[in-house]
């Protein structure tokens, strides 16, 4: 796996430690590589009203957009446990709004960050709903 993947996974692991997950105890981190080279991270933040919970991937995208960044070269997502946890459907849709179909998506577990699964945004969400191309 390339250096960018390892760097993004490391940033995602670091931010996953700051997740607020008192209900699921499932800590997730995401790291986006912006076109300008900056890395923007996000973690999941749960709420007693489960529908108000925000996933790490959306948290990272929203933080980037709030900073005026909306174009990305890659994303990494990590979660607790031994198994790789892929983004939920809502996060896939939000990511597809900002990532091109050929944008690399790296997924790993916090326990085994060296075991990185690589795919593209198009592979993660084929036939994404889009108003624009």
Reported confidence tier of residue 1, pLDDT bands at 50, 70, 90: confident
Whether residue 90 lies inside any domain: the answer is: yes
Whether residue 16 lies inside any domain: the answer is: yes
Say what the pTM is: 0.94
Whether residue 133 lies inside any domain: the answer is: no
In tens, the pLDDT along 27-48 reads 999 999 999 999 999 999 999 9
In tens, the pLDDT along 51-75 reads 999 999 999 999 999 999 999 999 9
Which residues are CB-contacts of 103 (< 8 A; sequence separation ≥ 6)? 72, 73, 74, 75, 120, 121
Q: What is the CATH number of the domain that holds 109?
A: 3.40.140.10
Whether residue 68 lies inside any domain: the answer is: yes
Whether residue 71 lies inside any domain: the answer is: yes
Whether residue 36 lies inside any domain: the answer is: yes
What is the structure's pLDDT at 113? 93
What is the structure's pLDDT at 81? 83
Number of domains the chain contains: 1
Instruction: Name which residue leads in pLDDT, 130 or 35.
Output: 35
Q: What positions carry a catalytic annotation?
A: 57
């Amino acid at each position: 796996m390339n250096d960018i993947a390892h760097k993004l996974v490391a940033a995602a692991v670091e931010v996953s430690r700051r997740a607020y997950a008192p209900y699921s105890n499932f800590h997730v981190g995401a790291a986006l590589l912006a076109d300008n080279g900056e890395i923007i991270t996000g973690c999941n933040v749960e709420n007693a009203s489960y529908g108000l919970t925000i996933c790490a991937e959306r948290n990272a995208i929203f933080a980037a957009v709030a900073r005026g960044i909306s174009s990305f070269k890659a994303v990494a997502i990590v979660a607790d446990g031994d198994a790789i946890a892929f983004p939920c459907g809502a996060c896939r849709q939000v990511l597809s709004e900002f990532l091109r179909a050929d944008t690399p998506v790296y997924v790993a577990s916090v326990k085994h960050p060296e075991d990185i699964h690589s795919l593209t945004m198009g592979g993660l969400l084929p036939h994404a709903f889009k108003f624009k191309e």
